[in-house]
Amino acid sequence: MSATFTLDGKAIPYEEGDTIHQAASKAGVFIPHLCYHPDFKPHGSCKLCTVKVNGRQTASCTMRAAAGMQVESETEELNAERRALTQMLFVEGNHFCPSCEKSGDCKLQATAYHLGMMSPHFDHFFPDRPVDASHSEVLLDFNRCILCSLCVRASRDVDGKNVFALSGRGIKTHLIVNAKSGRLADTDFTLADKAAQVCPVGVILKKRRGFSVPIGERTFDKAPIGDVLVKEEG
Amino acid sequence: MAVTELHGEAVAGIVDRVAQHYGRDPTYLVQILREVQEACDWIPPEAVDRLETVLRVPRTKIEGVAGFYYFFYTRPRGRYRILFSDNITDRMLGNIPLMERLCQALWIEPGKVSEDGLVSVDKTSCTGMCDQGPALLVNNLAITRLSEARVDAIADLVRNAVPLADWPAEFFAVADNVRRADLLLGSSLAPGEALKAMVARAPDRNEEGAVAMLNEIRCSNLRGRGGAGFTTALKWEACRNAPLQPGQQRFVVCNADEGEPGTFKDRVLLTSHADLVFEGMTVAAYVLGARRGFLYLRGEYRYLLDPLNAVLQRRRSAGLLGANILGIPGADFDIEIHLGAGAYVCGEESALIESLEGKRGTPRNRPPFPVTNGYLDQPTVVNNVETYAAAALIALNGGEWYAGIGTRQSAGTKILSVSGDCAQPGLYEYPFGVTVRQVLEDCGGKDVQAVQISGPSGICISPDEFDRRIGFEDLPTAGAFMVFNHSRDMFEVARNFVHFFQHESCGFCTPCRVGTSLLKNLMDKLHNGHGSPYDFTEIEKLNQLLLSMSHCGLGHTACNPVLDTIAKFRPAYERRLEHTDFTPAFDLDRALAAARQMTGRDDPGAHIVPEEFGEEKTS
């Protein structure tokens, strides 16, 4: 029999080395997250998956499970804070859901719905972020980047290419590509790359494939993000 | 020839030389970039091209690192890169009018490069010269005691393109300003004396000697001087006991990234007591069995690099560093110096280690902690400069002696960096337990309304708390002690600190990256006369979020100065609340500032002032 910890009053089994997030996923419990993906080393930066472990808040994607831990996740307090973080991500970039090709497939949007976010609340920053349309097959729309670094990890750890990286600091942190020109066309990026598949929002978009699935029939139109991700990642 | 027009081949030659010096090892990337910039005035794309080849790392990594540190420039910033220190103490000494004066004399705008590519002028976080400000950095070298005359002289030197080496030496003079010396600042330790005393405890047995030394540290009750106060013996013991995989070793790191605004004690310890610090690091190495040590020196203290390297060289010649220290076979330890490049967050120990490894200085996920998984994933002790200096004295005089000084929970002495409104700014070393009132008396602080203890991330105290004592049981501190008299506006103090945190947030985690900017905007909104009680609630909510969701201490403490001043100096805020009801943040007149600047107009016709408010013009 494997060891367990307690998540919102429920016993969750885990294997040695599992993070709280992994164990919860396997047990069918959804913890909101944006920068975590089961295929990659956890990053721990979006902080949406923060839970309370024995009264102290910590990111569940980086915290190893241990026997007897008392973990809280679905509390009003934590969900209010997760909602505020989501609002921060919305005002930091330029997110215009109604005109976005990723609407309905976007994890940021779906997470906002999941958390009951009704408005952006904070003042918008309206940053100036030019798009990169240089590549023949892919458009990069940096306006929507939430700096989750999933494309960075996918390109580095799976594709072995290092096409993407984060540069800058603080509020000026931004995604860069591996070319002197700074243009995606001058990298060895292809649509077959793992990095092309992982963007949770609408930064990395396939060209000439706009709205092939109608709004209303997309991933998170059909089922809430919690159900979808627990099935995919569990 | 302007250096910005360096030929590609010349740049490649510079890169090759620098990379060669560091064995083409990408863990030295931060040092390599610094030296390339010192030679080229910036980091041109051709340098990145060449680094990609000689270090065999992707361009994204080089650009990611270069883009992280404030002192690295991937765009030309001129042959003279001038940065005014912008701590609140510099503000109080008039740094902004001096910066404007320099900009006018050089015909440039702050933050921009002159049209001839000669010079740029901007602001930077506290450069650690609060006792002799206002201060600036020119090409990362410190200039102190700025005055109008000095600024005019600098303008002339720049305009005439006089090489920095020919600038008057007195501009670069940095005084120690030791006002009260005790154990550390009064130490006259002869190099090697502490090491000899340590070895004498178990003359023939290395291993027993290490255990005996650890016992002395334990019995001394020494706690870390970086602010958090972790028990030094526990840290050393955890590192000593951490298992080593084949090929691994233990490391000793000295944190001299003294970035907390208002703190400058490490500057003086490293200027006048470097042997004490290096000897303390050697003591730690003996306890841990470490062979390599690093001093991580903040980029603002670039001027200390050559003197410190000379001290290391002297210690090597004297048999106090290198192989077989004091003639003991196998007692091998050496120290190298890494310079930071303008990133406060690198004072956090795991971010510091990332930087030592040639990476962006973002704090790691913890656990695991550096004592087991530190530099290159190997067991590492990171301690403050002052902690090592104290360890050296404990090696010399024993733990019991040290434990008898100070208070029960805070053994030994603490060096305070006193600045702001007082007659005698400088360093004051006291046994722990001294009251704030006593310090104020000694430094000549009159008519004081507040003291900021331990910098922006610390605590702001008001006169009714001046009998509180410096020590871990009451007022823990990394050393900053900034004094404010009644003429100061505590709101502006808090706003300066909030700008600091916003500037220094590493950007890794959402709450701190976005939250510090939101907080800055709220404080600016109050400053501009558009605040309402609603904004207080917003600030309190942001504080809660930063505290509970942030990745590291920077985010956890970023709201402290605001909450402290709201609680203790509320009138400073209320003065700004002309509207107790809702008020729009948008200001039509302010929105026209860009148009005014473009047209060079500032006459009444170029302003729109809402009559019903009769507000002061802001630009």
**In the block, residue with structure tokens 């005393």:** B197
Give the domain B80-175 fold: Glutaredoxin (3.40.30)
> Does B503 sit within 8 Å of A167, measured CB to CB?
no
Query: How far, in Å, are B264, B327, B508 from residue B337 at the CA level?
Result: 19, 24, 26
Give the separation between CA B111 and CA B113, rounded to whole angstroms: 7
Q: Residue B435 has which token pair?
A: 């009251």
The pLDDT value recorded for residue B577 is: 77
> Is 3.30.70.20 the CATH classification of the domain at A97-222?
yes
Class of domain B180-403: alpha beta
> Where along chain B do its domains lie?
3-64, 80-175, 180-403, 413-488, 502-574, 588-619
The pLDDT value recorded for residue B540 is: 87
Find the residue in A nearest to B521 (Cα): A123
Write down the CATH number for the domain with range B502-574.
1.20.1440.230
Q: Which of chain B's residues have a Cβ under 8 Å away from the Cβ of A120?
A: none
Query: How far, in Å, are A200, B242, B330, B373, B537 from residue B245 at the CA level?
Result: 38, 10, 20, 11, 52
The pLDDT value recorded for residue B273 is: 98
What is the phi/psi pair of residue A203, to 5°? -85, -50
Give the separation between CA A107 and CA A94, rounded to whole angstroms: 15
- CATH architecture of the domain with range A4-74: Roll (3.10)
Q: Which of chain A's residues have a Cβ under 8 Å away from the Cβ of B548?
A: 50, 57, 81
Find the residue in A nearest to B508 (Cα): A45
Find the residue in A nearest to B556 (Cα): A57
**pLDDT band (50, 70, 90) for residue A101:** very high
Q: Residue B578 has which token pair?
A: 């002309």
> Does A81 sit within 8 Å of B545, measured CB to CB?
yes
Fold match between domain B413-488 and domain B502-574: no
**pLDDT band (50, 70, 90) for residue A2:** confident
Q: Is B477 left (phi over 0), alpha (psi -120 to 50) or beta?
A: beta
- A222, with CB counted inside 10 A (0-12, 13-18, 19+), is exposed
Question: How does strand B178-180 pair with strand B136-138?
Answer: unpaired
Q: Which of chain A's residues have a Cβ under 8 Å away from the Cβ of B367?
A: 64
**Which residue numbers of A have CB closer than 8 Å to B's CBs?**
42, 44-48, 50, 57, 59, 62, 64, 81, 84-85, 88-89, 91-92, 122-123, 125, 146-147, 162-173, 176-180
**What pLDDT digit, counting tens, does each position of A118-169 carry?**
999 999 999 999 999 999 999 999 999 999 999 999 999 999 999 999 999 9
Query: How far, in Å, are A130, A212, B82, B299 from residue B142 at the CA level?
Result: 38, 60, 10, 10
Give the separation between CA B559 and CA B479, rounded to whole angstroms: 20
Tally A–B CB contacts below 8 A.
118
Closest CA to B225 of B173, B271, B277: B277
Cis ω for the linkage preceding B571 (within 30 of 0):
no
Closest CA to B335 of B362, B309, B299: B309
Give the separation between CA B408 and CA B215, rounded to whole angstroms: 18
> Does B58 sit within 8 Å of A162, measured CB to CB?
yes
Q: Which of chain A's residues have a Cβ under 8 Å away from the Cβ of B544?
A: 81
Q: Which of chain B's residues have a Cβ under 8 Å away from the Cβ of A173?
A: 507-508, 513
Find the residue in A nearest to B543 (Cα): A81
Q: Which of chain B's residues have a Cβ under 8 Å away from the Cβ of A90?
A: none
Series of mean pLDDT values for 10-residue runs along chain B (619 residues): 65 96 97 97 96 96 98 96 98 97 96 95 98 97 98 98 97 98 96 95 80 96 94 98 96 97 98 98 97 98 98 97 92 97 96 98 94 98 98 97 96 98 98 98 97 96 97 96 97 96 97 97 90 86 92 90 90 79 73 88 84 45
The pLDDT value recorded for residue B6 is: 66
B506: nearest CB among A44, A47, A170: A170
> Does B510 sit within 8 Å of A89, measured CB to CB?
yes
> Does A42 sit within 8 Å of B365, measured CB to CB?
yes
Q: Which part of chain A has CATH 3.10.20.740?
A: 4-74
Q: Which part of chain A has CATH 3.30.70.20?
A: 97-222
Q: Residue B360 has which token pair?
A: 């962006």
The pTM (predicted TM-score) of the whole model is 0.94
**What pLDDT digit, counting tens, does each position of A47-84 carry?**
999 999 999 999 999 999 999 999 999 999 999 999 99
Q: Residue B125 has which token pair?
A: 């976080």
The pLDDT value recorded for residue B264 is: 98
- CATH architecture of the domain with range B413-488: Roll (3.10)
Q: Residue A21 has which token pair?
A: 């997030």
A168: nearest CB among B45, B60, B67: B67
Q: Which of B549, B552, B556 is best to mutate for the A interface (most A CBs within 10 A)?
A: B549
Q: Which of A171, A174, A178, A189 is best to mutate for the B interface (most B CBs within 10 A)?
A: A171
Q: Is B384 left (phi over 0), alpha (psi -120 to 50) or beta?
A: beta
Give A87 to chain B, closest Cα distance, Å.
10
Q: Which of A47, A81, A181 is best to mutate for the B interface (most B CBs within 10 A)?
A: A47
